[in-house]
Copies of this chain bind each other. A is one copy, B any other.
Amino acid sequence: MMNKQVSSTELAVADICDGATVMIGGFGEAGSPTELIHALIDQGARDLTIINNNTGNGEIGLAALIGNHQVAKMICPYPRSSHSKVFPKLYRAGEIELELVPQGTLAERIRAGGAGIAAFYTATTVGTVLAKGKEVRTIKGRDYVLEYALKADVALIKCEQADRSGNLIYNKTARNFNPLMCTAATTTIVQARKVVAIGALDPEQVITPNIFVDQIVEVQEPLIDAELIARGRCYP
């Protein structure tokens, strides 16, 4: 089977184009592919649309990508947090667009994108401003909002172990959006804490089958976002 491992984060993100839509896994720092994001900062692609649960913290990772003016639009359920400073500033200045999507609807739209479901009806947002302009349909006596699939050009993913063919397993709540995003992107780029031989993972335990993975780079000791933020670190 094909060996999808590449030797550096730099090589892994080399082909991301200006204007690309990029899904970035992680929820808080759990499962956040910080090294791949930093490589994307070095790489310099601009006008990106980023799909993530948040907008990053401090001045590292996603927050640094936004701070570097590479992001034109965020699709995101929760673009503020106690340590998020970069996005609010740019948002208030009108320099970045926001599509606010409930967390569960975001997850389901990404799943739909990967699963060939063009659109679906959910009760989430019915009767709220976030349903404004959307089709509402009554099904079996309850109202539902029509939501469309979400796909991306690229997904940046963090996992615990990858075999060289691209089968992935995750660590605890670092799973979060990562397996969904793998399915919905044209190119899925993964940073794995450990890359193992094909056949080393139990087929019963594989969470992301290799069909969804394109490139793997090993990052054995990933940065711990909270420590960097506590030390006031910035990237680059």
Indicate which residue in B108, B203, B205 contacts A117 across the interface (CB closer than 8 Å): B108
Which range contains the number of A residues in contact with the other chain? 20 to 34
User: Is A121 at the interface (CB under 8 A from chain B)?
Assistant: yes
User: Is A119 at the interface (CB under 8 A from chain B)?
Assistant: yes
> Given the complex, which residues of B lie within 8 Å of A140, measured CB to CB?
118
> Given the complex, which residues of B lie within 8 Å of A121, measured CB to CB?
117-120
Distance A170 CA – B140 CA, assembled complex (angstroms): 34
A120 pairs with B123, CB closer than 8 A: no
Question: In the complex, what residue of chain B is closest to A148 when comparing beta carbons?
Answer: B139
A116 pairs with B112, CB closer than 8 A: no
Task: Tell me which of A115, A170, A171, A204 has the highest count of chain B C-beta atoms within 10 A of its own C-beta.
Answer: A204
> Given the complex, which residues of B lie within 8 Å of A116, measured CB to CB?
122-123
User: Is A169 at the interface (CB under 8 A from chain B)?
Assistant: yes
Indicate which residue in B115, B117, B123, B172 contacts A204 across the interface (CB closer than 8 Å): B172
Question: In the complex, what residue of chain B is closest to A104 when comparing beta carbons?
Answer: B116
User: Is A177 at the interface (CB under 8 A from chain B)?
Assistant: no
B115 pairs with A123, CB closer than 8 A: no
Contact with B along A43-56 (1 / 0, CB 8 A): 00000000000000
Distance A43 CA – B169 CA, assembled complex (angstroms): 43
Task: Name A's B-contacting residues (CB within 8 A).
Answer: 108, 112, 115-123, 137, 139-140, 142, 144, 148, 169-172, 203-205
Taking A117-B121, A118-B123 as given, write out 14 further A-B residue pairs in contact, using a Cβ cutoff of 8 Å, ordered by the A residue number: A108-B115, A108-B117, A116-B122, A116-B123, A117-B120, A117-B122, A118-B122, A118-B139, A118-B142, A119-B121, A119-B137, A119-B139, A119-B144, A120-B121
Would you give 27 A-B contacts (Cβ < 8 Å), ordered by A?
A108-B115, A108-B117, A112-B120, A116-B122, A117-B120, A117-B121, A117-B122, A118-B121, A118-B122, A118-B123, A118-B139, A118-B140, A118-B144, A119-B120, A119-B121, A119-B139, A119-B144, A120-B120, A120-B121, A139-B148, A169-B204, A170-B204, A171-B204, A172-B203, A172-B204, A204-B205, A205-B205
